[in-house]
Amino acid sequence: MNALAATNRNFKLAARLLGLDSKLEKSLLIPFREIKVECTIPKDDGTLASFVGFRVQHDNARGPMKGGIRYHPEVDPDEVNALAQLMTWKTAVANIPYGGAKGGIGCNPGDLSISELERLTRVFTQKIHDLIGIHIDVPAPDMGTGPQTMAWILDEYSKFHGHSPAVVTGKPIDLGGSLGRDAATGRGVLFAAEALLNEHGKTVSGQRFAIQGFGNVGSWAAQLIHEQGGKVVAVSDITGAIKNSKGIDVPNLMKHVKEHKGVKGFHGADAIEPQSVLVEDCDILIPAALGGVINRENANDIKAKFIVEAANHPTDPEADEILSKKGVVILPDIYANSGGVTVSYFEWVQNIQGFMWEEEKVNDVLKTYMTKGFKDVKEMCKTHDCDLRMGAFTLGVNRVARATVLRGWEA
């Protein structure tokens, strides 16, 4: 089942539990606006190249739309729609005043020079500058983009609208980016895991973690779990996978990854098959890479008691059923990885106020939001007698539905 089908399915189940009116249900699913633009740039060799840029703006009942911009050769419209919709529910679960959006450009950033990427980003911004904005739609980095991309969008947008640091988040610190943003999703994963373990009378300390994916989210989660006394026993990334049942020395692994661009060949652990990291013997499994990695093929072999979804949509619905029968507790993506968008919200708030926070404040307020978020999800689980995924979906959908009705938008 693809991401869109799975997201729609979860939405419909939540709508049924909430007893939503069928007209309201239908209107919540339809995106507010879909934008597609042609972006033509001169390449460094003087030839012209054309790319398709797009933005799906899903819902703005609770506030401006928010979501990443990705540069990737295979941009699937269904996936982008699903991710935009997922952002609507995620921001509502986190209780931050946004709706969902997602977008990007169909290109392979590896094939373009820095100056070509800059020209492409600026042309894209020229085409959509009147459709985004501080109180309309606030983009952020995603696959294939980063702080530099956001800096170019900010500069180009400001040519039309005056200096507007709050138009994008995930900016470089020097241009109004927030301290603590880089670690935010990984730190949120730690806070989410802490809340879940506390519920079961446990702490992070002494628990064994397996982490699939060692990019920004996986590596920060590993470092922070290690600092809290958790044992990281297995890790994988695109280069390979490693395990050490006594616990991997995470600070040393970080050095190795920096030097060798991946976990492969790390001396303090044994090499294993990349796929087997998901079925390693551990207490908590953290999928922090791609979607759909936990499926009916491997769900029966998973040994973890808890799964904390740091990636978007890592568990497909068939695996969900198998795992719940086994008694595995899954903390869903729309809550577990919301630390990133929550600190993006803090960045936007700081920019609007023109007053920046200390990193300690960013982390403290993030912990408050994540802890409160878990309590809210658990309340919905009690009310509707459902698992954590449905608890989170009913929480998010209910908040958006209430805002929609209060604004007089229901059909």
The answer to whether the annotation marks 90 as part of a ligand binding site is yes
- From first CA to last CA, the distance across the chain in angstroms is 30
Instruction: Tell me the pairing of strands 270-272 and 240-243.
Output: antiparallel
Is 185 marked as binding a ligand? yes
Given the DSSP bridges, would you call strands 231-237 and 208-212 parallel, antiparallel or unpaired?
Answer: parallel
Is 164 labelled a binding residue?
no
Q: If DSSP codes are grouped into helix, strand and coil, which group holds residue 212?
A: strand
Cross-strand partners of 308: 331
Mark out the alpha helices in 129-271 (DSSP H runs): 147-161, 184-199, 216-227, 250-260
Residues present in the chain in total: 411
Q: Which residues pair with 232 in a beta bridge?
A: 209
* CA–CA–CA angle 347, 135, 117 (5° rounding): 65
- Give me the helix-helix angle, 22-29 and 388-406, nearest 10°: 100
Number of C-alpha atoms within 13 angstroms, CB side, residue 85? 25
Is 190 within 8 Å of 204 (Cβ atoms)? yes
Catalytic amino acids?
102
Comparing C-alpha atoms, which of 209, 272, 282, 207 is closest to residue 236?
272
SS3 state of residue 226: helix
Q: How far is CA 157 from CA 6, 141, 161, 184, in A?
A: 35, 16, 6, 26
Handedness of CA 208, 213, 216, 217 (dihedral sign): negative
Of 240, 222, 389, 250, the C-alpha closest to 316 is: 389
50 assigned to a ligand binding site: no
d(CA 179, CA 372): 22
Q: Which residue has the tokens 């976990």?
A: 263
246 is in an annotated binding site: no
Q: Which residues are annotated as a binding site for substrate?
A: 66, 90, 344
* Known binding residues for NAD(+): 185, 216
Known binding residues are 66, 90, 185, 216, 344
